[in-house]
Structure 1
Amino acid sequence: MKKYPTNEIKNIVLLGASGAGKTTLAEAMAYEGKVIERRGSVEGENTLSDYTDIEHQNRRSIFSTVLYTEFNGYKLNILDTPGADDFCGALFSSFKVADVGVMLLNAQNGFEVGTEIQARYARRHEKPVIAAVNQLDSEKANWEQTVEELRANSEAPIVVVQYPVNPGPDFDRFVDVLMMKMYKFKGDTGEREELPIPESEMERARELNKALVEAAAENDEALMELYFDKGTLTQDEMRSGIKLGLAKRDLVPVFCLSTKKDIGIKRLMEFIINVAPGPLKAPNFRLIGGGDVQADADGPVSVFVFKTTVEPHLGEVAYFRVISGTLAEGMELTNMATGNKEKIGQLFVSAGRNRTKVAELCAGDIGCTVKLKATRVNHTLNGPGADWQINLIGFPQPRFRTAVKARNSAEDEKLGELLIRATYEDPSIGVEYSKELKQTILSGQGEHHLNILRTQLANTHKIEVDYFPPKVPYRETITRTAAAGYRHKKQSGGAGQFGEVSLVIEPYYEGMPAPSKYKIDGREQVMNIKSVEEIDLDWGGKLVFCSAIVGGAIDARFLPAILKGIMEKMEEGPLTGSYARDIRVVVYDGKMHPVDSNEISFKLAGRNAFKEAFRNAGAKIMEPIYQIEVLAPSDKLGDVMSDLQNRRAIIEGMTSEKGFEILTARVPLAEMTRYSTSLSSLTGGRATYTMKFAGYEQVPAEVQDKLLKAYSDTDKDE
């Protein structure tokens, strides 16, 4: 294929709920551009996109697919993305390198929750959007209702560029009010005939044309003056105004499609070429630390990796966008994340599974290469004269957690390696070994997301794994002041062990006054604080360690050993073995022996004194609380609220936003097991949610009793 200069490249991401027809649109675009000779179908499992076995089994997109087509002298890079929110990580990485989104709406279903979710993501990533109402050939297609729902839910004004003349099973024509023509299609070949607008449609067409002219004029003062002078605008003037409005995200143009019948595909691509922003007009790529980089084919070479996959017979494939310069085969680039040199041995452009070898790619283009040594998603590779690092893709926070273990323990090490590799390909997956919980914790966007990973492990790598509920990272703390002392004494021939520690503990909070006196054994004990050490705990909260030793009762050299003993018990709380936090300890007395006292003696004395005081200090278990925001259809709000309340959630607020209900609540992590699955079941897959850690709160008394009993039973079993 020819080398495309930057001004002849367009990068688009296909958006929409599951079933909107994104994969079929990508196939039709490739067909119109002669990249393929025959169109495949999702049902036939032979599309350029959705080419993996697991996508065939699920009959939907699970990964993003990079494709291209060539049309009217331009190259259109197409990113086909999953519609299910469980796989939104692929959408986020696609947003990074696309300059405009094409949002498909199913004319049978209108503006779905999935549409709203992806529209939100587009706004968050500041991407302009073109809307296309698809499946107008369906029996239940409802153009008017779909457009009205789109208008009601869009933050930017909706402008109709096309409308269908005969939606339904016989759909074969639409009116284009920008071109002021009617297009009629023959069968499902994509062949079209340009016709004058019939008299029966002329009034409606003129009315929509006027609205389109006004929307175009509003985006430019000069065009507005022309419009006032002439009362209309030429097609070129309208395109200029729409181009400005689209780039600023001040309008959303709407098109008609039947992707299965190849109706409207050419016209949509023509509009993208003529109006949608390309690399030269889209915002520059921002840099870590400030500044930006423009798409200059004559500048220093810089590429950004947004996706990696492992392909049979090829190994790891790295997909990238050329940010600056002209990338050629054989170039040596520096990975700014690792400092390693990477040689670009071969360059390809991708059409799903198919790859075409190329010699060069200009700034703004998207391609892929193989056999890079240690380059991952979010890495920037630079040639001489560039030291840039592109801002990273901000992947979504995990919403679903599970513990994972290989069925065959001999495969644990292999499983660990495969899970780490999975995070390279999909950074919205997280994996960590929790020393606290003694479990490997896998996190992702939902149960289906991680079930797909489990299937891949079984089918591709022949390793069977089990998922089970992860333990909850509880914390322990105290609610009142308590004192205790402990004498450690051991004699076994030769030098013995002796250490005695008296201490007092109390709940700690930020800004609390320094300790002055405590009531111990019925009498007041004045504290003369000699030293204070504040320790920020790795698991959150603080330990404040104070020494009020007087008269040399304990040598200062033994204080670190006492602290070490206390820290050991902080890491294994007396109630459930969970981490303890937010405690102030004051060591005020003790005894030592001139010969037998040593560090181990005082470590054990400090540990046991702390343990005893902890048990008498109104010990409480604290649980992690998460802030949750649920986006749900109005008719399911009651069910969603009831389910959350059954999970001990505290509802904090409810708001309506463009036909959907947004529910905010605080809910214990312990109650969120399989929540994504329950929410999907309650709402027929029409709701989604986000959650983030909010803090720790004390568990209710009845919950604490259950936890103490469970821990006691575990101890007995052990």
Structure 2
Amino acid sequence: MRVYQTNEIKNIALLGSAGSGKTTLAEAMLYEAGIIKRRGSVEAKNTVSDYFPVEQEYGYSVFSTVFHVEWNNKKLNIIDCPGADDFVGGAITALNVTDQAVILINGQYGPEVGTQNNFRYTEKLKKPVIFLVNQLDSDKCDFDAIVSSMKDIYGPKCVQIQYPITTGPGFNSLIDVLLMKKYSWKPEGGAPIIEDIPAEEMPKAMELHKALVEAAAENDEGLMEKFFEEEALTEDEMREGIRKGLVTRSIFPVFCVCAGKDMGVRRLMEFLGNVVPFVSEMPKVHNTRGEEVAADSNGPTSLYFFKTGMEPHIGEVSYFKVMSGTVKAGADLTNADRGSKERLAQIFACAGANRIQVDEMCAGDIGCTVKLKDVKTGNALNGKDCEYKYDFIKYPNSKYSRAIKAVNEQETEKMMASLIKMRQEDPTWVVEQSKELRQTIVHGQGEFHLRTLKWRMENNEKIQVKFEEPKIPYRETITKAARADYRHKKQSGGAGQFGEVHLIVEPYADGMPDPTVFKFGGQEYRINVKNKEEIDLEWGGKLVFINSVVGGAIDARFMPAILKGVMERMERGPLTGSYARDVRVIVYDGKMHPVDSNELSFMLAGRNAFAAAFREAGPKILEPIYDLEVYVPADFMGDVMSDLQGRRAMIMGMDSEAGYQKLQAKIPLKELSNYSISLSSITGGRASFTTKFASYELVPNDIQQQLVKEHEAELASED
């Protein structure tokens, strides 16, 4: 395989909802390019993509698959991405390292929620988009209705390049209004028969051709002038106008294909090779220092590792993009993130489970290597005098969480090692060992996502695991001021222990003035602030600790011990054992003994005085509240709102976005536990949602009473 230069390389992401036919299209593209000799099928479990056991077990893509084709002296690196929203990490990674998105639309259903999600990601990352309507041989396919729906959603930027003469089982021909030719196929597909457009199709073809010419001309002043003068452009001028329109996202070409019968695939590949932007034509990536990194083969060598695959008999396969410079097999590079040295003994062009060994790769190219010592997903390997690091891929927040346990506790360590290894393959799996909840929590994008993790753990790693409901990280706080004192006294021969602490607690909010006076039981307590510490608690909120002791009742050297005692009690609130937050503690008096007082005595006195005051200060439980955005078809809106109201959600607003309704709400984390399953059930999988932590809010009284009872029962069972 020859070395492709930067201006001969194009990187493309295949996106689309589950069932839109990406894996089948990838097979047809590989077949057309001569990489494979016969096309596999998802049903036969013999495709280049979807080659992992878990994918074959469930019949859907779990991982993105990287492959390449050589076409018209160009190298097309293509990443086939999973369609299910649960595996969105693959699509987001692919979009960040490619320069063109091809979004497949299922000819049976038209734009779906997955289409919407993928388009939003391309919008955010400013990536060019080509729409590809697939499965034109389906009985349910109504091409004109699909195009109409696309224009409603994505606007007039959707411009047809092709249209089918008929759809359904008899589909075998289409009109290409860029080339102004009719393409038809024999039943076996493959090479098309190219003919002039029949007279009966000419009016429609001319109308669409004119719209395409106008759309292409709009992207270049010179082309626009020519269009106004002649109302026509040459084929090359149209290609140039479309390319510029793709780069600026001012045109979304619409193609037709029947990937299952290999009809239209070759024409699509011609367009990808001839028209879509090269790496050098797209906006440059920035490194972590904010510097632009140009895809220049003469620049410093820098590789970004965007994906790790675990393969039987091989181990880790590390996928990289050459961000700058040129890399050769046998190169010695430095890991900018970990400081270690690495030798790339071999480099490969990717072809799914197969790899083609190459000697060299230039800036913009995508490849893989094996048997690296210390390279993780997200790391950069650099050549001499280069220290580039990258952090440009941002993944969505998790939507579904479960506590995970090894059935055999002796396998816990092995389970954790496997979870960490699996996260290298899919960074949207987030593993958290929660000291607060005393659980190992696995966060993912949905129930499907975590079910896949469990299958792999049990079938690949041979570790039996079980999922449990994760505990909720409640917080405790107080609602009024209270006072308490505590004397710790212990005599056991020799030096004893003595410490007495008098303190006041009150709710704290940012910006509160320092306290001056309190009244309890008719008695007034004047506060003289001698010293103040504001502590940002690692679990959120603040503790403000004030020393207001006068007359030397407690030596200043014992104050840190009192604070330590208070902090210990903040970690186990009296109501549910949850962390406490947003409290101001004022130590205003106490007593000490010239011989028996020490740090331990004052720590214990401070802890117990704080606990007693906290219980008298109107303690309340706070629960985590999340911002929720649901994207839902209008006809399901009522059912979705009704379900949310049953989950104690507060509807904050509604909006219409790209043909879908966007519903915004605030919802307690506890009520989100099975929301992804419920939403999928209500909408038949046609809705999606995102969440983001918002704040902690007071729980309703009835729920507080229930939580306190549960905690008391838990403590009783431990005794």
TM range (shorter): over 0.9
Give the structure 2 partner of residue 481 of structure 1. Answer: 481
**CA deviation string 1:556-597 (max 9, x = no partner):** 111111111111100111111110010111111111111111
Counterparts of 1:195 and 1:246, CA distance in 2: 28
Give the structure 2 partner of residue 179 of structure 1. Answer: 179
Give the structure 2 partner of residue 58 of structure 1. Answer: 58
Aligned positions of 1:621-700 closer than 5 A: 621-700=621-700
Amino acid at match of 1:92: I
Give the SS at the match of 1:197.
Answer: coil
The answer to whether the Cα contact below 8 Å between 1:156 and 1:249 also exists between their aligned partners in 2 is no
Aligned positions of 1:77-476 closer than 5 A: 77-154=77-154, 157-476=157-476
Deviation of 1:642 after TM superposition, in Å, equals 1.3
Deviation of 1:57 after TM superposition, in Å, equals 1.6
Amino acid at match of 1:551: G
Counterparts of 2:556 and 2:321, CA distance in 1: 61
Counterparts of 2:587 and 2:652, CA distance in 1: 43
Deviation of 1:28 after TM superposition, in Å, equals 0.5
Amino acid at match of 1:114: G
Give the structure 2 partner of residue 608 of structure 1. Answer: 608
Amino acid at match of 1:205: A
Give the structure 1 partner of residue 48 of structure 2. Answer: 48
User: Would you say 1:567 and 2:567 are equivalent positions?
Assistant: yes
Amino acid at match of 2:596: D
The answer to whether the Cα contact below 8 Å between 1:66 and 1:352 also exists between their aligned partners in 2 is yes
Change in CA separation of 1:340 and 1:156 when aligned onto 2, cut-off 3 Å: farther
Give the SS at the match of 2:207.
Answer: helix
The answer to whether the Cα contact below 8 Å between 1:40 and 1:46 also exists between their aligned partners in 2 is yes
The answer to whether the Cα contact below 8 Å between 1:96 and 1:306 also exists between their aligned partners in 2 is no
Deviation of 1:659 after TM superposition, in Å, equals 1.9
Amino acid at match of 1:320: F
User: Would you say 1:526 and 2:526 are equivalent positions?
Assistant: yes
Give the SS at the match of 1:612.
Answer: helix
Counterparts of 1:705 and 1:682, CA distance in 2: 32
Counterparts of 1:643 and 1:449, CA distance in 2: 23
Deviation of 1:450 after TM superposition, in Å, equals 0.9
Q: Greater CA deviation, 404-413 or 483-492?
A: 483-492
Q: Greater CA deviation, 12-21 or 277-286?
A: 277-286
Deviation of 1:391 after TM superposition, in Å, equals 3.4
Give the structure 1 partner of residue 593 of structure 2. Answer: 593
Counterparts of 1:238 and 1:588, CA distance in 2: 82
**CA deviation string 1:325-349 (max 9, x = no partner):** 2211000111111111110001111
The answer to whether the Cα contact below 8 Å between 2:191 and 2:266 also exists between their aligned partners in 1 is no
Counterparts of 2:391 and 2:224, CA distance in 1: 37
The answer to whether the Cα contact below 8 Å between 1:631 and 1:687 also exists between their aligned partners in 2 is yes
Amino acid at match of 1:173: S
Give the SS at the match of 2:213.
Answer: helix
The answer to whether the Cα contact below 8 Å between 1:35 and 1:69 also exists between their aligned partners in 2 is yes
Counterparts of 1:130 and 1:408, CA distance in 2: 50
The answer to whether the Cα contact below 8 Å between 1:32 and 1:71 also exists between their aligned partners in 2 is no
Deviation of 1:669 after TM superposition, in Å, equals 0.7
Amino acid at match of 1:220: D
Counterparts of 1:111 and 1:434, CA distance in 2: 40
Counterparts of 1:17 and 1:67, CA distance in 2: 20
Counterparts of 1:196 and 1:364, CA distance in 2: 39
Give the SS at the match of 1:461.
Answer: coil
Q: Greater CA deviation, 372-381 or 706-715?
A: 372-381
Counterparts of 2:155 and 2:288, CA distance in 1: 30
Amino acid at match of 1:168: G
Give the SS at the match of 2:68.
Answer: strand
Give the number of equivalent residue pairs: 718
Give the SS at the match of 1:575.
Answer: coil
Amino acid at match of 2:191: E
Counterparts of 1:682 and 1:407, CA distance in 2: 33
The answer to whether the Cα contact below 8 Å between 1:628 and 1:690 also exists between their aligned partners in 2 is yes
Deviation of 1:5 after TM superposition, in Å, equals 1.6
Counterparts of 2:218 and 2:18, CA distance in 1: 35
The answer to whether the Cα contact below 8 Å between 1:476 and 1:580 also exists between their aligned partners in 2 is yes
Counterparts of 1:658 and 1:131, CA distance in 2: 15
Q: Greater CA deviation, 69-78 or 340-349?
A: 69-78
The answer to whether the Cα contact below 8 Å between 2:116 and 2:658 also exists between their aligned partners in 1 is no
**CA deviation string 1:132-155 (max 9, x = no partner):** 111111111110011111111115
Deviation of 1:156 after TM superposition, in Å, equals 6.3
Amino acid at match of 2:86: D
The answer to whether the Cα contact below 8 Å between 2:9 and 2:76 also exists between their aligned partners in 1 is yes
Q: Greater CA deviation, 374-383 or 704-713?
A: 374-383
Counterparts of 1:39 and 1:678, CA distance in 2: 38
Give the structure 1 partner of residue 620 of structure 2. Answer: 620
Give the structure 1 partner of residue 537 of structure 2. Answer: 537
The answer to whether the Cα contact below 8 Å between 1:548 and 1:588 also exists between their aligned partners in 2 is yes
Counterparts of 1:57 and 1:638, CA distance in 2: 36
Amino acid at match of 1:70: E
Amino acid at match of 2:279: P
Q: Greater CA deviation, 626-635 or 387-396?
A: 387-396
**CA deviation string 1:500-548 (max 9, x = no partner):** 1111110000111111111133121111111111111111111111111
The answer to whether the Cα contact below 8 Å between 1:626 and 1:667 also exists between their aligned partners in 2 is yes
Deviation of 1:298 after TM superposition, in Å, equals 2.1
Give the structure 1 partner of residue 73 of structure 2. Answer: 73
Counterparts of 1:414 and 1:391, CA distance in 2: 30
Deviation of 1:7 after TM superposition, in Å, equals 1.7
Give the structure 2 partner of residue 498 of structure 1. Answer: 498
Amino acid at match of 1:475: R
The answer to whether the Cα contact below 8 Å between 1:188 and 1:260 also exists between their aligned partners in 2 is no
Q: Which runs of 5+ in 1 are unaligned?
A: none
Amino acid at match of 1:355: R
Counterparts of 2:700 and 2:92, CA distance in 1: 39
Give the structure 2 partner of residue 517 of structure 1. Answer: 517
Counterparts of 2:670 and 2:256, CA distance in 1: 47
Give the SS at the match of 1:66.
Answer: strand
Identity of aligned residues (%): 55
Counterparts of 2:612 and 2:465, CA distance in 1: 42
TM-score, with structure 1 as normaliser: 0.99
Deviation of 1:385 after TM superposition, in Å, equals 3.7
Counterparts of 1:155 and 1:100, CA distance in 2: 19
Q: Which runs of 5+ in 2 are unaligned?
A: none
Q: Superposition RMSD on alpha carbons, in Å?
A: 1.0
Deviation of 1:306 after TM superposition, in Å, equals 0.7
Deviation of 1:284 after TM superposition, in Å, equals 1.6
Give the SS at the match of 2:208.
Answer: helix
The answer to whether the Cα contact below 8 Å between 1:156 and 1:250 also exists between their aligned partners in 2 is no
Moved over 6 A (4+): none
The answer to whether the Cα contact below 8 Å between 1:189 and 1:262 also exists between their aligned partners in 2 is yes
Amino acid at match of 2:364: G
Counterparts of 2:524 and 2:241, CA distance in 1: 81
Q: Greater CA deviation, 618-627 or 649-658?
A: 649-658
Amino acid at match of 1:596: D
Give the SS at the match of 1:41.
Answer: coil
TM-score, with structure 2 as normaliser: 0.99
Q: Greater CA deviation, 676-685 or 379-388?
A: 379-388
Counterparts of 1:352 and 1:532, CA distance in 2: 62
